[in-house]
Structure 1
Amino acid sequence: MNPPQPKDSSVLEDKLSDNSQSNNPAKTIPTTGSKSETASAELWESIKTIIGLQNQAPPLVTVSKEGNLPLSFPQERLWFLEQLESANSSYNIPFTFRLKGVLNISALEQSLNEILRRHQALRTNFSSVEGKPVQVIASTVNLTLSVVDLQDLPTQERENKAMQLATESAQQPFELTKEPLFRANLLKLTEQEHILLLNIHHIVFDGWSEGVLFKELAT
């Protein structure tokens, strides 16, 4: 019996070559030049469309601050919450400043009035017209700084009284339709020490406003 003859290696190579070609057909790599040019053209058309829309937009105009003005969305939310629960101090933002050294009370009062003059939000009240809330901005507001003299009280009693008055001031509700939504009171402990109490309603004051207020009070 003759031993088996090895298979022709050339035939095996041909089969492997055939299988390789059938299982992994050659892929045609597309050229990118045409697609890139098309994408660039489409991008440019989009840019021109946007520019055209911007040119068609109406110009910005100054809105008169006289008369009734609509509320912003956050203001509307606070307004409706106030209607649900009147005499509510939850949205008061109180500040307490202990001032040491000789204080010119008249100059402090003038500074507070200047802040009110600069910022119309602090001169704004809120009313209802035909069932809808509106802003009413006062042209001027004259703030009188109320001064409470506690100098005659003993030291500990004086501090306790100051704390009590500060708490009462912070918890006193605002009437959104009538009074200014910015209050200021000054407690005189000694000739060299005072406590300034500010209380502002959140509907006209927020976290960003706080930095502006502190900066203007300090200058």
Structure 2
Amino acid sequence: TRIMERKIMERIYEEDEKRRKKAEEDHYTMLIANGVNQEEARLESKFALYTPKDEIDPEAMRALILREQEEKKEKVETRIMERMITERIQKRDEKRRQKDKEAHYKKLIAEGMNEELARLESIFGAPEDLWWTRPRKMMRRREVMRARILREQAEKMEKEKKDREERSEQRKKYDEMMKKRRDVSEERRRKEREEKKETPANETQQKETEKEIKVEATPVNNP
């Protein structure tokens, strides 16, 4: 929120500066048209009091900034997608070229060329005008690759969502298990405390009883 508020104030200040500069230029042009010399017109237009016709609405500026951020995000995502498409197509093309080279090599060997020449011919003599590099085919391949990448991303997001849900369920089970353990432990400690409270009273009563019995059993010596 603070970052957004600062951006809003900065943009409002920038817009005010643009307006002030525009008003200054218009005022200078008017003074020159009225016959004021350039030096006086420059000074007056520079230091004349500038009051904006209408204030810039902060909420409108906020909406503008958010829209620009969204557009910037979309451009970044588009560039990332284009790079991913290009990289994936290049990898697939490299695999195809390698496969074509191997097929070309086997064909040359079958035609009776020696292995060294066949290897060099297959590396450097492969046709450059490959069917999958033609413009229309390339455009179609890019569309197919884009759809494939989007599908993979959607599947990945769905898997991550399921993993999060599964982890959340496991966390709930763990919390319930730990709560049961704490409850059992607390109940055990409560019983132990109650037993400790009862034990000293019983022992005191037993000692007093033993003392009474001992006093009664002691013989009295009459002088």
Do the two structures share a fold, i.e. TM-score over 0.5?
A: no
Higher strand share: 1
The structure whose Rg is larger is 2
Q: Shorter-chain TM-score category?
A: under 0.3
Q: Please, what TM-score do these two structures have when normalized by structure 2? A: 0.20
Higher helix share: 2
The one of the two structures with greater contact order (alpha-carbon pairs below 8 A, sep at least 6) is: 1
Q: Please, what TM-score do these two structures have when normalized by structure 1? A: 0.21
